[in-house]
Structure formats: C-alpha cells, structure tokens
Chains A and B, each alone.
Chain A
Amino acid sequence: MNMRRFCRFVLLWCAAVVLVATASTVRAAEEILIYTALEDDQIPRYLVPFKKEHPDITVKIVRDSTGVVTAKLLAEKVNPQADVVWGLAATTLLVLDQEGMLAPYAPKGVEKVAPQFKDSRNPPQWVGIDAWMTGFCVNTVELKAKNLPMPASYADLLKPVYKGHLVMPNPASSGTGFLTVSALLQLMGEQKGWEYLDKLHQNMALYVHSGSKPCKQAGAGEFPIGISFGYRGIQEKGRGAPIETIFPKEGSGWDLEANSLMKKSNIKPAAKTFLDWAISASAMKEYAKSYAVVAIPTGEPIPEGFPREPLKQMIKNDLSWAAKNRARILEEWEKRYGAKNEPKK
C-alpha cells in the first residue's frame, strides 16, 4: 500500500480543519479593545492626541451603532471581549449596569465632571463625556419647492401641511429615536406625550433604523424634514447639503455619551490609562469641536450652528427613569405604531 498517498489525503483533510481552527488572533500585552458608538468621522480625529501621549498602547476599535454595540456586549456577556466602552449612550450603559457587566472605576480628574454627567455612586460605574440632543434637519430647497413653512417646535410638526414629509428614527432601533420619545414623554407627561406621538404618527412618512439616516434623507431631499440630532445636521450642512438644523423651541431631548470599564477577569492597566485620558483636557478639547456640551468645560467656542446657550436648550432629563422604563416605552410604542403596515401616501 502506498502510505505516502494515504498520508497526503488524510493531511489534506486535516489541514482544512486545522486551518479553520487556528486562524485565531494573538494579542499583544499593551493592546486594548474598545467598543464605541461614536461617529465614524469623529474617532480618527479624537484618537490623534491619545496616540501622541501614549504611543506604547495599541487601541483596537469596534465601532457600530448604539444598538449593535449594545447587542454585541450583551451577547458576549458570559465572556466579555471589550476592555473599555467609549462614548456609548448612558441609557444603554445603565442597561449593562443592571446586568452587572460594568466595573466601577474613578478615572483621574473625575471630580471635575459635573454630577449630572456621571454615575452618582463612588467610584462611578460610568462617566459621561458629552451630550447630544434632538435636532430637526430641514432641507431648505425642498421646503421652498413644496412651499412649506419652516418648523420651529415639536408643536409645529403636527400641522397638516407636513403630512408625509416627516421621517424619524424608530426608538426601538436607534438611540436618537429613543431619547426623542423619552424627552417628549417627560416634557408633556406620559398621557399628553402619547397623545402628541399619536398625532405625529399621522404626519410621519417613515420610521427608519438609525439616528443619522433621517438627516441624510433630508439632505438628499427624499423626505424634507428629518428628526435627528444636532451634530449630524451641522455636519451635513458642512458637507454642502441644503440643510438647516432646528432645535425645537420646547427644548431638546438628550443623552450622554459615556465611558465605562468592562468587568472581566483580567482588567488591563492600559484600559484604565485610556479611561483617564478619555476625560482629560486634551480629549475634551476634541469633543468640544463636535458638541456644544461636554462634561468638563473647555473654554473652546461652541461649534457653529448650535444654540448659544446649549444647556438651556436641554430639557430636564431623568436618565435613570428613561433607562428603567425603556422596555415598557418601547413595547407601548410598538403596540401603537409598530403594526401599521403601509406607509401613508
């Protein structure tokens, strides 16, 4: 019998299996894995000072939408992969907290962060870096073409002229969608809030799956008015889309982008170094270029397009109420608006 042939055949078979099995990655000592929901256009800019100050630490970034990042973290609960969460919505960090997935850590300089921007426990489970808030993206070209007035408030959006021209993110799949709905319920009280949403629903053309999409759809003229968040509208305008960003008169719903240390068996020192840096002056300076409100005031001018007094624009928002009632609100929302099938013409 020809043993060589036989061996070759078996080897080929095994090689396939082994090739598949050993393709796993090997990690260096000073390497941390960061999960983030910060915008794609922000991350490279933010990381420039960090790389300069800590050249010895390699950061690997998993960037995705709030929903996907949270789902990934929860799916990996039994065996966490991430070392650090950076810039994830505080309301979803609260969910992770309830699951006992966060490790308490007080980064250097945390005392400078105002109380409403961080977890009240000491050491805190999470620390905020900036706030983002509801803004309407309005396409001025389309508005003129369709002869529509410029909306200035939530109440304006109920006017019959806007019927079929509005689009907003589905709160079940978008952080921006949820903070807007939760703000309306807090502003008007639950009963009035749902009544408002019922009427808004009559005007709504479509619910989409991300917070950025309504603004980009407005920019492309697909739907002239998109309920989105301020940063996105201002960015779109900067890129040349005919977009005006409106912050509603009644006040904007908001959420924090916050950081946290993941609870796992081997917490790396580099992870803590990163969290220290993430609320340092150099990091805050970068955040302040994107957002009007950051956790530690920097003295930088407020970016073009935001309200001059951003803190006044933000409503009184109870983040822990929002987190606690999230499941209930979403279920109610699905019951009221989820079963609708055809988009209204």
Chain B
Amino acid sequence: MSAATGEHDWTMIIDLDRCTGCQACVVACHAENNIATVGEEEVIRGHAMHWIHIERYWEGEYPHVRARFLPVLCQQCERAPCEPVCPVFATYHSVDEHLNIQVYNRCIGTRYCANNCPYIARVFNWFNPYVPEPLNEQLNPDVTVRSRGIMEKCTFCVQRIRRVEETAAAEDRPIHEGEVQPACAQSCPTQAILFGDRLDTESRVANLTGSRRAFRLLEELGTEPAVIYLKGGETYVE
C-alpha cells in the first residue's frame, strides 16, 4: 500500500465479475489516446499497440472449457520497475499524484522499460503511425501523436485528469467523485472499471480497495500497483 501522501492517489478498480471481455475499453482507449492501428499483418507480427490487453485464459478441457478475462493495462506501480532503468528519465514517478509518467519527447527507444515490466504493459511504436483520411479528423487534440521508435503506455488518461484538475482549480472547488473518467471506464458497458482518488476516503474506489475480493496483479513482486482487481467467481463464458 502506498502511503497516503501527495495531492491525489489515482486508483483504478477492475471488477472481474463484471468484465465480459467485450473489448470496448480497448477501442475507446485507441480513440482517446491516438493509438496507432497497425493492421492485421503487423498484429500477427506481434506489433499490436493496445494499451489494454484483454487477456483471455481458458479453463478446463474441451468441450468443458470456460474463458476468463483479465484486462491488463499499465498498473501505475508505486515502485515501478520500468522507471529506474530508463537512461534518459523518459519515464518517471509523479510523487504528488502517484502516477507513472511517460514523456514521449524524452524517449530514445532503448525498450529497457518494456523488458522490465512484469505485466508487459508497455507498447512500442514499431513504425510511424498510419492515419488514413478521414481518420485524422478523429485524432484527439489533447494527446500527442507518437512517432516511430518511442515507448508509450496507459497514462490513466492523464489529459482528462489534467482538464478536470484545471477546471476544479478555476472554479475553486475540490474534484467531485467520478468527475475524472478515463476512456476505458467511460465506455465499459458493464461498468467493470471504476476510477477515482483513493485519498478521498468517501469515494467508491477507496471503499472497494478494502474489499475482500480485492487483489493486485503479481502482488508478490512488490511493485505496489495502483490498479486493483476484484476477484471474479462467476464470470465464465461457455
């Protein structure tokens, strides 16, 4: 558990009981964050660029098989293994907001961070992004379009966090519960993804963090992720 310090402690709750593996979050994430789509051939070559993977695990032997879904994105670790290995500080820790920041402009593409991420949550720009007309009209002006040769990853939609923070500061008020919504949480039809500030003790994420179902991915590594999963018992798709 990270100490309750700083201005915010942005936390994501993913309820595995609610996840149906529909991939709406993946699409929303692509749209919001200007993530390049690479086409079928490059996906086969292992160059897909999703910031969220819906990891699908099969249980049982055919024909009695069941699928389980595990959405994995950057876990925004408090003790992130990806950060110290970067020689140029392209990824670092925001101590105030407990976010794992990726600075595209600084990245030179050593891909060391990607190797050291136990969740393999980081994504590399293998080529320049291909944005055919009229898809360029869809690009989000709040987010950089990354060039070839640099690393990227889930930012918890930091552009949305900033916008809300600035609005709240301008109106001289605290940020309301649920005001910050990353694209994935916003688009999830079953509301499996919740997002909020754990420092706000009244918030739903703060309450669910203590749930008996709560666990963190590869918790034993001591990376202290800010993504908390709620165990699923019932989510089987036959």
A, B: real partners: no
Chain A residues near B (Cβ < 8 Å): none
Chain B residues near A (Cβ < 8 Å): none
